[in-house]
Amino acid sequence: MKRPTAFEERLYELLLCIPRGKVVTYATLAEMMGNRGYARAVGNALHKNPDGEKYPCYKVVNAKGALAPTFVFGGIDEQKRRLEAEGIEVKDGYVDLEKYGYNLF
């Protein structure tokens, strides 16, 4: 397996800052990485997450609160299961960002 880049390592460490029962958006993580325009790069890096148990990429949703249909560790049903295990309600593939969103700033 290829070693994570510095960007990926920093991103994975940011995932550890998300409290239990909260989610963040790709854009929020991108902003924390220095540029809100990095949202797509964040998504690509999360898809390469080397350890889904250590780095909780399941806590990342899109700007509308939608789950990732191609969640790397088992698809959307697995992402939903992991979120619900933390008490996060998922309705029709979406999380209420007003209720569960977390801003890392």
pLDDT at residue 103 in the model: 83
Contacts of 79 (CB under 8 A, 6+ apart): 58, 67, 68, 71, 73
pLDDT over 70 at 1, yes or no: no
57, 67, 83, 95: which is the annotated catalytic residue? 57
Name the helix (H) or strand (E) containing 30.
helix 26-32
Separation CA 88–CA 95 (nearest Å): 7
pLDDT tens, residue by residue, 30-62 = 999 999 899 999 999 999 999 999 999 999 999
CB distance 76 to 62 below 8 Å: no
Residue that has been written with the tokens 């890392």 in this structure:
104
Residue ranges of domains in the chain, CATH in brackets: 6-97 (1.10.10.10)
17 is annotated as an active-site residue = no
pLDDT tens, residue by residue, 69-90 = 999 999 999 999 999 999 999 9
